[in-house]
Amino acid sequence: MTDRPDPRSRPVPAGRFARARGMGGLATGLAGGVALGGAQALMRGERPRLSQLVMTPANITRIADRLSEMRGAAMKLGQLLSMEAGDMLPPEMELILARLRSEAHVMPPKQLKQVLQDAYGAEFRQLFRSFDTRPLAAASIGQVHRALTPEGQALAVKLQYPGVKGAIDSDLDNAAALIRWSGLWPPELDLRPLMAEARAQLHEEADYAREGAALARFGTLLADDALFIVPSLDATRTRDAALAMCFEPSEPIEVLARAEPGLRDAAVTGLLDLTLRELFDFRLMQTDPNFANYRWRPDTRQVVLLDFGATREISQEVSDGYRGLLRAGLDGDRDATYAALERIGFIKQGLGEAHRQTILDMAEMGFALLRGPQPFDFRDSDFTDRMRRRGMEIGGERELWHLPPAETLFLQRKIGGLYLLATRLGAKVDLAALARRFV
């Protein structure tokens, strides 16, 4: 192992006490700032709201830095809130959550060595010919390193941050209390379902045996698909806090934006087709659409699929519900579309006629893409801007505020993420032909 300094290095607080102290210190610092800011405002004859006192530029930086430093549940909760309720959150909170999506510290070499020793034992060096201390990637639960076995096999090894798994519940409780105290979370939105889902997802993602099994399942499901590569699991070097797999050399999926149009279009079509197969055929979906989970191998013209920690089983009921929604949308049947949206829990029951039509108009904007006679050009479409404007209008109608069930949220996140990827790559896809295959 060679110690190479990484400017992103910062130790992860490992024990529950240390993590609770980190959140408590953040809350204390914010409270002190609020008290000082409130006193100064009163002296000026002002009566600011609590959220105005909390969300100063200095406090925004302080919150984002501390959650990023702690990683684990606090950071994941921020990411989930951003994805599931971002359109309804004030800009100050969205700024914090956007930083959590883009920033991640990494473990310094000394802590990394301790994690390796805890995972593999004191003789861990015998399992590897070399181990790069600078990670290939870092996220909320762990970070990934390149390594070589004594036989020369290249590996990617995901190491879980110390203390993260055991502190999931307390981290979430502390983070939620801070969010509620700040006054930035809209009272019309019940935070509890998102908390419960974040709790379940984090415990699943921290279970590397579960992720290894999902990796193997997708490897089997896609073994005969020439477009996709799924890394093979190295079971001999996988532990409770370490997940080892073969390293698949590849480049960021964004390089396809510069590829020839036919190649780019085929890759994006394949990814969208895979999502529909996950929903309707496999009923097993990798629900995290982070661009980093897709890589491109130029020499073989294949997509490498990574990170199966967020893999979820899809119930027959939900799969059938989405098939009915897709069929109704393709047929342009507004009544059937509305009934299907209610069935999957995407909208709440009992909306008035005006709000019903608002929802259907927005749904029609999406389904119109699936009925076009020509391939849809993601590069030149103004669809995203139109949907964002309509979403902001709906966000202003508090009667329409609703958090769908977890399964629906994760499906929507995956679909929305792939739409953004297709737009980034500038692909053209025959969406109508693709959708018709599954109804």
- Residue 130's DSSP bridge partners are 148
Answer yes or no: are the C-beta atoms of 425 and 254 closer than 8 Å: yes
Task: Find, among 124, 114, 127, 204, the residue nearest to 163 by Cα.
Answer: 114
The tokens describing 277, both together, are 């197969």
Residue at token pair 């204390």: 28
φ, ψ (nearest 5 deg) of residue 158:
-95, 125
Residue at token pair 């130790």: 11
The tokens describing 268, both together, are 């994006």
Q: Which CB contacts under 8 angstroms, 24+ apart, belong to 180-185?
A: 181/27, 182/30, 182/50, 182/51, 182/54, 182/55, 182/93, 183/49, 183/50, 183/51, 183/54, 184/51, 184/54, 184/55, 184/89, 184/90, 184/92, 184/93, 185/89, 185/93
Q: Is 303 left (phi over 0), alpha (psi -120 to 50) or beta?
A: beta
Does residue 333 carry a catalytic annotation? no
φ, ψ (nearest 5 deg) of residue 386:
-65, -40
Catalytic residue among 288, 307, 377, 382: 288
Looking only at the bridges linking them, the beta strands covering 228-229 and 302-305 are: parallel
Taking the CA atoms of the chain, what radius of gyration do you get in angstroms?
23
Q: Do you know the residue count of the chain?
A: 439
Q: How many CB atoms lie within 10 A of CB 429?
A: 21
Which residues fall within 8 angstroms of residue 368, CB to CB, at 6 or more apart? none
Angle at 423 between CA 422 and CA 428, to 5 degrees: 65
Angle at 186 between CA 185 and CA 190, to 5 degrees: 90
Q: Which residues are catalytic?
A: 288
